């Protein structure tokens, strides 16, 4: 498909324009998408570890199962909650692209919804109804995991199709009902792996942190086991993620690859990711044999920053893919500062209430045996 | 045509939106009303001699409530976004761009609602009574505020009021003529649903227990006044509808079953019947609470679901042919010709972005016109199937029909030239196995 056809196809931007300068939406999107990825990774990785813990025997296993049985529904809830703002902002900023590609894969896109309901219900079933030793419990978690992996896969398909408008018309002509995916995309598999596999790292960090707290509460035996288990998961996850990153770089179109590696901000973000992720893993491994909260928290913070780098880089790469078809600078701004202020005040009040409540309730919850 | 049209066989995109929306309406209203019930029951239980036992029941209610609202409520809410974005990208884009910060504020409520609910539920054994009461009340207030916000956006679609694309006046858009009647109607309906949901959970208490009687009567008090008030508020809303929608509802259209039946009669009957059933059922349960069991309680909830379905379909039908009344048609054609990417009387496919380049005489032209202009409301032989509706078509009749289709008031005007009409008519006729020879 030629450049020309793709630019004819590109839908016109919304007549209402952008409600605040795009940079502000981008900033909000980076922040919330980072939280989305962290919660998503925790839940996917946690589901894998839950299966590992259920299959393994022993006391530590049972305690881990109980921990994850409660944590995973919460993780799921927040992965959805933190997916909502980026979903809003991607439509504000990239609506033309995002609506088009979503319709093109419409059948799979809508199937995300029942998949989410079933996966989420599965985690609650596991917590509330499945006996801790039952086979059924393991099977249910396995189904929830598979459904989540499906959802992630559909997202990667949609978001890669979104940035390659050259493929749109042929895709639509062949499947006007949307029963297709973007499987011809070379970066698809490494990209998917790159976003999903860090799940083991994030769930690993959660175990290291949990171990550190168990120590504090005088349950040292369990604490050590949890830290070790977590550190091992982190290492495995990170090695897989670094490998996937290599695969992703190798499959990127040459022009995009040189954009990423050719210096400047993109290279800084890529390098930042590598350095921060190495630092995070180092802290996690160092925390395994030791007590104390500092190393686990450092590990978590470094990893969160690493994800932040990727979230920003990912968007720069998207804009680079779209060069010539689409630019955020071209979007008119019809400012709604009043509404922005309403939102900002709501956000500040809401967060203040939540922080106030959590500060009062968490210490009591944590002290519960 | 800015966006591709999602061509869903058998069901059609619109029906998929409706299915998800109907489930979400039920669950989200239970979520807000249930919050009120939790808050009131928290306070009420403190003054009762058997308060501790009531709270044991309340914990059970909260468990079901938590799973039901977070799993089904949150995900179907996201689901509506997915579905409308597929079925009407242009309209979704307009709503998102106009109301982005209303939605962002709505998200803050969503985050608050969830977190407060978790703190309430998981903190059950460690929180003080005062804290639990505070959390329950806070949950309700936040959840109701989220209803307040989303109501502004939803009611806007039917009655945009003084808003126009040019003035982009968000205040008038948000507090549009339908805002207050719908807000009250939704508030009342959510009390009703919360009461029904509470009765359902209360039927699980042992029949020989006084507590069961007490709980069911407590819940019935939520249902009965609401069931009486809802029709009055619905009538108030009716008076704010645009004239064309009222005319459409009173005038009726050719029904799915073939016969002509006024839309308002059809859905009015459904809603009336549902309301009466709920009233009678709830009275019966309140009179013999010990005998109440789960199946009828569940049935009442399903009846309420039917009534919501009636309401949703009514809204959809009364808004035809628009998604945003007076502004944007359901098939993504703007009412103002100046906003339309293609002009009404210009060759259609040349200006439509999402069609392959077809030779002038190609029979596929008709199919592509159908796909881009009709498929957002019709399917070929499923929901609102075109086959059934065009049995009698001849090429000449088809062309004539297409030039006046908007006079039926439920469809937008045809976009395109005489050749485009011929191509579409020929393709429609070829569906019936007849040849599509040009007239
Ligand atoms: C099990 C559930 C989920 C998984 C595994 C998942 C996974 C992912 C992955 C892998 C990506 C990156 C795709 C890429 O860049 O190629 C992504 C992006 C995204 N996810 Fe999720 N996701 C899940 C649920 C959700 C939900 C429920 C929402 C919305 C409410 C959501 C909103 C988003 C958005 C908006 C983006 C892209 C943002 C942007 O490009 O600006 N996700 N998700």
Cα separation, A201 vs A232, whole angstroms = 9
Cα separation, A125 vs A57, whole angstroms = 22
Q: Do B20 and A113 touch (CB under 8 A)?
A: yes
Residue A76 CA to ligand 1 center (angstroms) comes to: 12
Mean of the per-residue pLDDT values of chain B: 89
Q: Residue A220: is its pLDDT beyond 80?
A: yes
Q: Residue A369: is its pLDDT beyond 60?
A: no
Q: Residue B437: is its pLDDT beyond 60?
A: no
For B329-347, the pLDDT digits (tens) are 988 888 876 555 556 778 8
Q: Residue B359: is its pLDDT beyond 90?
A: no
Please give the pLDDT value at position B262: 64
Do B315 and B342 sit in the same domain of this protein?
Answer: no
**Dihedral of the alpha carbons of A346, A351, A354, A360, in degrees to the nearest 10:** -130
Picking from A281-295, B148-162, B228-242, which range would have the lowest pLDDT averaged per residue?
B228-242
Do B182 and B219 sit in the same domain of this protein?
Answer: yes
Q: Do B89 and A103 touch (CB under 8 A)?
A: yes
Within an 8 Å CB–CB cutoff, is residue A339 touching chain B?
A: yes
Do B313 and B344 sit in the same domain of this protein?
Answer: no
Do B114 and B192 sit in the same domain of this protein?
Answer: yes
Tell which atom from ligand 1 comes closest to the C-alpha of A29.
41
Asked which of B298, B329, B360 is the last residue of a domain, the reply is B329
Measured over the CA atoms of residue B375, residue B381, residue B384 and residue B386, the dihedral's sign is positive
Whether B436 is in a domain gets the answer no
Q: Residue A40: is its pLDDT beyond 80?
A: yes
Please give the pLDDT value at position A110: 97
Task: Report which of residues B313 and A253 the model is more confident about.
Answer: A253
Please give the pLDDT value at position A7: 57
B20 token code pair: 């998800």
Name which of A91, A335, A345, A356 to mutate to probe chain B: the one with the most chain B Cβ atoms within 10 A of its Cβ. A91
Whether B2 is in a domain gets the answer no
Within an 8 Å CB–CB cutoff, is residue B10 touching chain A?
A: no
Within an 8 Å CB–CB cutoff, is residue A352 touching chain B?
A: no
Do B298 and B342 sit in the same domain of this protein?
Answer: no
User: Which residue has a Cα nearest atom 33 of ligand 1?
Assistant: A83
- Choose the closest CB to B97 out of A16, A77, A128: A16
Q: Residue A6: is its pLDDT beyond 60?
A: no
Whether B435 is in a domain gets the answer no
DSSP result, B151-202: HHHHHHHH--TT--TTT--HHHHHT-TTHHHHHHHHHHHHHHHHHHHHHHHH
Q: How sure is the predictor about B291, in pLDDT bands with cuts at 50, 70 and 90?
A: confident
Task: Please compute the mean of the pLDDT values over residues A242-253 and round it to a whole number.
Answer: 98
Picking from A89-103, A113-127, B258-272, which range would have the lowest pLDDT averaged per residue?
B258-272
Question: A80 near A140, Cβ under 8 Å?
Answer: no
> What is the domain count for chain B?
2
Please give the pLDDT value at position B88: 94
Do B46 and B135 sit in the same domain of this protein?
Answer: yes
Please give the pLDDT value at position B256: 40
Q: Do A102 and B104 touch (CB under 8 A)?
A: no
Q: How sure is the predictor about B253, in pLDDT bands with cuts at 50, 70 and 90?
A: low
Do B350 and B224 sit in the same domain of this protein?
Answer: no
Whether B254 is in a domain gets the answer yes
Whether B187 is in a domain gets the answer yes
Q: How sure is the predictor about A325, in pLDDT bands with cuts at 50, 70 and 90?
A: confident
* Structural domain that includes position B424: 335-430
Q: Cα dist. A184→A2, A157, A165, B93, B139 in Å?
A: 17, 10, 14, 28, 47
Q: Where are the beta strands (DSSP E) in B317-420?
A: 322-324, 328-329
Residue A155 CA to ligand 1 center (angstroms) comes to: 6
Please give the pLDDT value at position B305: 84
Question: A230 near A206, Cβ under 8 Å?
Answer: yes
Q: How sure is the predictor about B316, in pLDDT bands with cuts at 50, 70 and 90?
A: confident
Mean of the per-residue pLDDT values of chain A: 94
Task: Please compute the mean of the pLDDT values over residues B410-425 and round it to a whole number.
Answer: 92
Asked which of B329, B350, B379 is the last residue of a domain, the reply is B329
Question: The domain that contains B171 carries what CATH number?
Answer: 1.20.1630
Whether B311 is in a domain gets the answer yes
Best residue among A25, A36, A41, A95 to mutate for probing ligand 1's pocket (most ligand atoms within 8 Å of CB) is A36
Give strand pairing partners of B197.
none
Q: How sure is the predictor about A42, in pLDDT bands with cuts at 50, 70 and 90?
A: very high
Cα separation, A138 vs A129, whole angstroms = 12
Residue A365 CA to ligand 1 center (angstroms) comes to: 31
Picking from A86-90, A113-117, B201-205, B278-282, which range would have the lowest pLDDT averaged per residue?
B201-205
Asked which of B278, B309, B329 is the last residue of a domain, the reply is B329
Whether B89 is in a domain gets the answer yes
Do B125 and B246 sit in the same domain of this protein?
Answer: yes
Please give the pLDDT value at position B438: 46
Q: Residue B258: is its pLDDT beyond 60?
A: no
Q: How sure is the predictor about B252, in pLDDT bands with cuts at 50, 70 and 90?
A: low
Please give the pLDDT value at position A132: 63
Do B262 and B397 sit in the same domain of this protein?
Answer: no
Q: How sure is the predictor about B259, in pLDDT bands with cuts at 50, 70 and 90?
A: very low
Q: How sure is the predictor about A61, in pLDDT bands with cuts at 50, 70 and 90?
A: confident
Do B321 and B209 sit in the same domain of this protein?
Answer: yes
Residue B89 CA to ligand 1 center (angstroms) comes to: 19
Whether B119 is in a domain gets the answer yes
Cα distance from B260 to chain A (closest Cα, Å)? 31
Do B323 and B342 sit in the same domain of this protein?
Answer: no
Task: Report which of residues B411 and B265 the model is more confident about.
Answer: B411
The label of the residue with tokens 């608050």 reads B112
Task: Report which of residues B439 and A85 the model is more confident about.
Answer: A85
Task: Please compute the mean of the pLDDT values over residues B262-291 and round it to a whole number.
Answer: 83
Task: Please compute the mean of the pLDDT values over residues A131-137 and round it to a whole number.
Answer: 77
Q: Do B341 and A91 touch (CB under 8 A)?
A: no
Question: The domain that contains B387 carries what CATH number?
Answer: 1.10.760
Do B32 and B125 sit in the same domain of this protein?
Answer: yes
pTM for the whole structure? 0.95
């Amino acid at each position: 498909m030629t450049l020309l056809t793709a630019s004819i196809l590109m839908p016109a931007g919304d007549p209402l324009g952008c409600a605040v300068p795009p940079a502000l939406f981008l900033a909000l999107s980076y922040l919330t998408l980072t939280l989305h990825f962290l919660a998503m990774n925790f839940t996917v990785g946690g589901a894998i570890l839950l299966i590992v813990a259920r299959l393994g025997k022993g006391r530590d296993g049972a305690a881990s199962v109980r921990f994850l049985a409660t944590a995973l529904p919460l993780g799921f809830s927040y992965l959805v909650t933190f997916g909502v703002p980026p979903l809003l902002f991607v439509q504000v900023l990239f609506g033309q692209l995002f609506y088009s590609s979503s319709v093109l894969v419409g059948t799979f896109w809508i199937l995300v919804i029942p998949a989410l309901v079933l996966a989420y219900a599965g985690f609650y079933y596991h917590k509330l109804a499945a006996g801790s030793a039952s086979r059924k419990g393991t099977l249910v978690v396995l189904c929830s995991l598979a459904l989540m992996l499906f959802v992630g896969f559909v997202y990667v398909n949609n978001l890669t199709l979104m940035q390659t408008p050259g493929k749109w018309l042929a895709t639509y002509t062949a499947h006007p009902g949307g029963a297709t995916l973007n499987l011809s995309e070379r970066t698809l598999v490494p990209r998917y792996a790159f976003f999903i596999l860090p799940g083991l790292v994030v769930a690993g960090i959660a175990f290291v942190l949990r171990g550190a707290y168990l120590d504090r509460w005088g349950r040292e035996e369990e604490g050590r086991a949890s830290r070790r288990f977590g550190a091992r998961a982190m290492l495995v996850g990170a090695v897989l993620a670094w490998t996937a990153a290599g695969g992703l770089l190798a499959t990127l179109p040459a022009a995009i690859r040189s954009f990423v590696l050719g210096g400047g901000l993109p290279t800084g973000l890529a390098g930042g990711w590598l350095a921060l992720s190495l630092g995070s893993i180092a802290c996690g491994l160092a925390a395994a044999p030791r007590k104390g909260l500092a190393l686990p928290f450092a590990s978590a913070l470094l990893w969160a920053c690493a994800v932040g780098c990727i979230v920003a880089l990912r968007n720069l790469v998207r804009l680079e893919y779209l060069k010539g078809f689409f630019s955020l600078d071209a979007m008119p701004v019809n400012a709604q500062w009043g509404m922005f202020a309403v939102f900002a005040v709501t956000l500040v009040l809401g967060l203040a209430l939540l922080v106030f409540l959590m500060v009062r309730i968490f210490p009591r919850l944590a002290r519960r045996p | 045509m800015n966006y591709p049209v999602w061509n869903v066989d058998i069901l059609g995109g619109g029906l998929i939106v409706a299915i998800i929306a109907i489930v979400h309406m039920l669950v989200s209203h239970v979520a807000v009303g249930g919050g009120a019930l939790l808050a009131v029951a928290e306070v009420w239980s403190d003054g009762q001699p058997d308060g501790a036992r009531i709270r044991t029941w309340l914990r059970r209610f909260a468990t079901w409530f938590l799973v039901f609202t977070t799993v089904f409520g949150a995900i179907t809410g996201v689901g509506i976004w997915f579905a409308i974005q597929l079925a009407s990208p242009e309209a979704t884009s307009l709503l998102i761009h106009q109301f982005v910060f209303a939605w962002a504020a709505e998200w803050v409520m969503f985050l608050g609602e969830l977190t407060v609910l978790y703190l309430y539920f998981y903190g059950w054994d460690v929180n003080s009574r005062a804290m639990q009461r505070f959390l329950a009340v806070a949950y309700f207030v936040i959840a109701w505020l989220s209803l307040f916000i989303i109501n502004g956006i939803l009611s806007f679609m039917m009655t945009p009021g003084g808003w126009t694309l040019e003035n982009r006046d968000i205040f008038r858009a948000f507090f549009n003529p339908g805002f207050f009647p719908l807000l009250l109607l939704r508030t009342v309906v959510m009390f009703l649903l919360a009461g029904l949901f509470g009765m359902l959970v209360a039927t699980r208490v042992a029949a020989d227990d006084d507590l069961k009687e007490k709980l069911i009567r407590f819940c019935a008090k939520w249902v009965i006044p609401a069931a009486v008030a809802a029709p009055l508020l619905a009538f108030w809303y009716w008076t704010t509808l645009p004239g064309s929608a009222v005319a459409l509802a009173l005038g009726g259209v050719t029904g799915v079953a073939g016969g002509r039946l006024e839309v308002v009669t059809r859905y009015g009957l459904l809603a009336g019947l549902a309301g009466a059933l709920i009233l009678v059922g709830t009275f019966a349960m309140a009179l013999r609470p010990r005998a109440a069991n789960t199946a009828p309680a569940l049935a009442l909830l399903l009846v309420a679901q039917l009534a919501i379905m009636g309401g949703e379909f009514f809204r959809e039908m009364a808004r035809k042919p628009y998604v945003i009344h007076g502004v944007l048609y359901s098939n993504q054609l703007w009412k103002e010709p100046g906003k339309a990417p293609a002009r009404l009387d210009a060759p259609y496919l040349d200006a439509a972005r999402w069609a392959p380049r077809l030779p002038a005489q190609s029979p596929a032209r008709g199919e592509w016109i159908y796909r881009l202009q009709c498929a957002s409301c019709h399917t070929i032989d499923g929901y609102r199937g075109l086959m059934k509706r065009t049995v009698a078509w001849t090429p000449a009749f088809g062309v004539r029909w297409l030039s006046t289709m908007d006079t039926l008031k439920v469809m937008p005007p045809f976009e395109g030239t005489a050749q485009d009409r011929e191509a579409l008519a020929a393709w429609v006729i070829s569906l019936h196995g007849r040849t599509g020879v040009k007239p």
